[in-house]
Amino acid sequence: MREIKIGLLGLGVVGSGVYRLLSENGDFMAQKTGSRLTIKKILVRDLGKPRPVSVPDGTLTTRAEEILEDPEIEIVCELMGGIEPAKSYILSALSAGKHVVTANKAVLAEFGPEVFQAAEAADRGLFFEAAVGGGVPIIKTLRESLSANRIQTITAIVNGTCNYILTRMQESGLSFKEALVEAQKLGFAEADPTLDISGMDSAHKLALLATLSYGSFVPAEKVYVEGIEGLEPLDLAFAKEFGFLTKLLAIAREKEGEVEVRVHPTLVPEGHMLSSVRLAYNAFLLKGDFVGEIMLYGLGAGAEPTASAVVADLLDAARLIISGAKPTSILYRETPLDIKPMPRIVSRYFFRFSAVDRPGVLSKISGILGKHGISIASVIQKGRQIGGSVPIVMLTHEAEESAVRKALSEIDKLDVVTAPTKLLRILED
């Protein structure tokens, strides 16, 4: 049986999960694939640090060159996180003729073309299933199962931290801060949750999904991003009265030669497939021109689900080595994508206005909306006072974002409006 040696960069939560999975299921996987995966060396920062797994003496090293320059190591598995030195190690491994498995969405989303082209130039495989969906096989689905389809839309919940927080706010009435603290205590949120709650983690993941779906690199900075920090239980409760649940969605859509890529809180109809995705779970709703709609669902983070995806990639790399097959290209489109500017996006909207309780307020607001071509679908005007103001909640028919922004800018300057208007977009049916 062929033995394939691996160099592991990092032995943190995910790295330890990978080591344990290879140890516990190694015989089972060898029977399935006809090759045995063996970890020869593991790069760590501190040799004396306690580890959740026990490794043989001499396996750990603080010198990356012991992995990158070892001709016996055929696959390098990068699980360090961060941009540097991870990016340099990935590029060095590829130039040394090694296949690379990584879970590093930041490197791929920021420096995709450089890394993808390095893999193609070296004629080596680059595998990154765990970079987006944890244990959910979204990358393989796009690269293989749906490769015959034009992907028309991707609508996804890709951040378990945000989904957990929003679920708790909706179901228990917790404030954003209370739900975040709870998520941190349970291990669903980092000590510094900025990347998650700002929406940037979701933007990195969406950039990768759009790149795979449309064949041309989508930089993360081209993704429009809003986070969940400004959401209040009040907004989620009003949305529920209209029959919506609030989710942080990552949306990519190709239409008439342009691609939308955006991440923001979105109102999802209660009967929609994504409305039932609760707590720390992820879901990916894809629509292809021939396959129609399909949905993948599962845990998007954690040691075991992520390790499952990483080891599946290691097995794919091993099959590539044994078969001698040529890796498939990631960037197949010769021209850059035309990213649709956010001001031209068309959507339905939820507005919450904070206004003084005075006759004529509603007519002033609706008059400005009408002037900008924004049609009102529903209104709730509550009599309860909130900080001296009365909330007026509206749903609109479809309108262009630029018109909405102009109208709200004008409305927020009215002397009867006491706070900036809250805006949420509504998912298309």
- The amino acid at residue 208 is L
Burial class of residue 317 (count of CB atoms within 10 Å of its CB; 0-12, 13-18, 19+): buried
Q: Which helix (H) or strand (E) holds 35?
A: strand 35-43
**105 in a labelled binding site:** yes
Of 87, 205, 247, 340, catalytic: 205
**14 in a labelled binding site:** yes
CA-nearest of 58, 85, 53 to 70 is 58
**9 in a labelled binding site:** yes
- Please tell me what DSSP assigns to residue 143: I
How far apart are the C-alpha atoms of 59 and 47, rounded to whole Å? 10
Q: Which two structure tokens, joined as six digits, stand for 373? A: 């071509």
**120 in a labelled binding site:** no
Burial class of residue 221 (count of CB atoms within 10 Å of its CB; 0-12, 13-18, 19+): exposed
**133 in a labelled binding site:** no
How far apart are the C-alpha atoms of 169 and 63, rounded to whole Å? 46
**408 in a labelled binding site:** no
State yes or no: is 222 an active-site residue: no
Q: Helix 233-241 crosses helix 160-172 at what angle (to 10 degrees)? A: 70
* Phi, psi (degrees; rounded to nearest 5) at 159: -130, 110
What sign results for the dihedral spanned by CA atoms 312, 317, 320, 321? negative
**101 in a labelled binding site:** no
**10 in a labelled binding site:** yes
How far apart are the C-alpha atoms of 364 and 356, rounded to whole Å? 12
**298 in a labelled binding site:** no
* Residues that constitute the known binding site: 9-16, 105, 190
Q: Which residues are catalytic?
A: 205
Residues placed in the known binding site for L-homoserine: 190
Annotated binding residues for NADPH: 105
